[in-house]
């Protein structure tokens, strides 16, 4: 009896190991037999630009058999650092190069692939529908801590910020905060998606995301400027009414060439710009 048990156990062990080995071998072989020369590029960086790059790469790869476009996020600064250091082919960024980056990586060339606006979002239950840029700065530097200070109900403001790698944050900091320090109690999130998710769950929260990331789970705040309440929409960025607008860039080391150039050309083509529009962003002129 005991002998049989050990034997059965051994068989089971053997079979399981065998299956594991087969799976791994199959995976490796599957990788090998992808016939012909595979061209690959990696695209890394801004989480704002990520959805555009993803959709575009899928469309591009559908048309080209032996092409692999690998995409990663991490934030604009990650993208710029990676393309500068040579660990990626294209760095996506939702901002322009900082001076430090221009000195460290002098060969970077940028191509504008879309335009975008930064929208401020709050929970759907928030009664505040419009704010001035002054008030927004006041919230983010800690001057206002309660929604009633800015025309809403009596509720503590939960300030949602992005992490320091974010191009969106960098742009916001320069153009709205005028380089003032953020309030220290602001919660930091690592992507547009994370900001949106938090806002959708937290009644007292406010945050900022790229236009393409607005959806029905949050309310976008109108900006009150020059007597008008300006809604954050692609149309308003196109007609230059919306005050916080920026370019979305692809950076390469030197002029883009090879597959990187083809991919960038694809995004700038009519098909590619249609994808940009579908994702909620603003096509380049």
Partner 1 sequence: MIRGIVNILMGKQSLKEIGVKGLLFLSAIFALLVIFFIIFFLFKEGYPIFENVGFWNFLSGKSWNPTGEPPSYGAFPLIAGTLLVTLGAVIIAVPLGIGCAIFISEIAPHKVKAVIKPGVELLAGIPSVVYGFFGLVVLTNWLRITFDKPSGECWLAGSILLGIMALPTIISVSEDAISSVPREYKEGSLSMGATKWQTISNVIVPSALSGITAAIILGIGRAIGETMTVMMVTGNAAILPQPITDVFSPVRTITGTLGIEMGEVASGSTHYHGLFGLALILFAIVLITNVIATVVLGKLKEKHMPTSKKKKRKVISPVIMQRIKYNIYVIFVLIILWLLVMWLGIVIAVLTILITLCCYFIAKKISAKSSQRVAFGLVTLSTIIVLFMLGIILYYITANGIGALSWEFLSQSPRDSGRAGGIYPAIIGTLYLVGGAIFLALPIGIGAAIYLTEYTKEGKLIKIIRFGVENLNGTPSIVFGLFGFAFLVLYLNLGVSLLAGQITLAFMVLPTIIRTTEESLKSVPQFVREGSLALGATKWQTIRKVVLPPAMPGISTGTILSIGRAAGETAPIMFTAVVFSQRFLPTSLLEPVMALPFHLFVLTTSVPGSEQNAYGAALVLLILVICLYLLAIMIRDHYKKTMKW
Contacts to partner 1 from residues 107-146, by CB under 8 A = none
Residues shown for the chain: 285
Instruction: Return d(Cα 176, Cα 178) in angstroms, integer.
Output: 5
> What track of x and - describes contact with partner 1 for positions 188 through 217 (by CB under 8 A)?
xxxxxxx-xxx--xx-xx-------x-x-x
Cα-based angle 155, 159, 164 (whole degrees, multiple of 5): 175
> Is the CB of 79 or the CB of 232 nearer to partner 1?
79
> Is the CB of 115 or the CB of 189 nearer to partner 1?
189
Minimum CB separation from partner 1 for residue 110, in Å? 17
> Is the CB of 61 or the CB of 284 nearer to partner 1?
61
Instruction: Return d(Cα 167, Cα 81) in angstroms, integer.
Output: 12
Stretch 31-90 residues interacting with partner 1 (CB under 8 A): 31-32, 34, 38, 40, 42, 44, 47, 50-51, 54-55, 57-58, 61, 67-75, 77-78, 81-82, 84-88
Minimum CB separation from partner 1 for residue 234, in Å? 19
- Number of residues near partner 1 (by CB under 8 A): 79
> Is the CB of 215 or the CB of 228 nearer to partner 1?
215
Stretch 236-265 residues interacting with partner 1 (CB under 8 A): none
- The residue within the footprint of partner 1, chosen from 104, 238, 262, 280 (CB under 8 A), is 104
> Is the CB of 9 or the CB of 229 nearer to partner 1?
9
User: Is 101:76 a contact under the CB 8 Å cutoff?
Assistant: no
> Is the CB of 152 or the CB of 223 nearer to partner 1?
152
Stretch that binds partner 1, among 23-31, 113-121, 229-237, 259-267 (CB under 8 A): 23-31
User: Is 205:198 a contact under the CB 8 Å cutoff?
Assistant: yes
- The residue within the footprint of partner 1, chosen from 3, 36, 63, 179 (CB under 8 A), is 179
- The residue within the footprint of partner 1, chosen from 3, 36, 184, 239 (CB under 8 A), is 184
> Is the CB of 6 or the CB of 226 nearer to partner 1?
6
Stretch that binds partner 1, among 111-119, 129-137, 186-194, 252-260 (CB under 8 A): 186-194
């Amino acid at each position: 009896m005991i002998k049989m048990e050990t034997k059965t156990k051994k068989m089971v062990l053997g079979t399981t190991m065998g299956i594991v080995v087969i799976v791994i071998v199959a995976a490796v072989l599957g990788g090998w037999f992808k016939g012909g020369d595979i061209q690959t590029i990696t695209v890394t960086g801004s989480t704002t630009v990520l959805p555009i790059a993803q959709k575009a790469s899928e469309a591009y790869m559908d048309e080209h058999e032996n092409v692999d476009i690998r995409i990663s996020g991490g934030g604009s600064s990650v993208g710029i650092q990676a393309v500068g250091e040579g660990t990626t082919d294209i760095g996506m960024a939702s901002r322009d190069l900082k001076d430090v980056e221009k000195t460290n990586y002098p060969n970077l060339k940028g191509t504008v692939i879309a335009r975008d606006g930064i929208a401020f979002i709050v929970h759907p239950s928030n009664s505040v529908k419009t704010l001035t840029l002054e008030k927004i700065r006041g919230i983010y530097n800690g001057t206002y801590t309660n929604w009633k200070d800015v025309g809403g109900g009596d509720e503590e403001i939960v300030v949602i910020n992005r992490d320091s790698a974010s191009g969106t944050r960098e742009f916001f900091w320069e153009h709205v905060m005028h380089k003032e320090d953020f309030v220290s109690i602001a919660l930091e999130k690592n992507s547009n998606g994370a900001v949106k998710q938090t806002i959708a769950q937290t009644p007292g929260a406010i945050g900022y995301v790229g236009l393409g990331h607005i959806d029905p789970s949050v309310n976008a705040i109108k900006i009150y400027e020059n007597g008008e309440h300006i809604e954050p929409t692609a149309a308003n960025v196109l007609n230059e009414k919306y005050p916080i607008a920026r370019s979305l860039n692809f950076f390469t080391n030197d002029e883009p060439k090879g597959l990187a150039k083809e991919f960038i050309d694809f995004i700038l083509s009519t098909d590619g710009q249609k994808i940009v529009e579908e994702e909620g962003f603003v096509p380049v002129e």
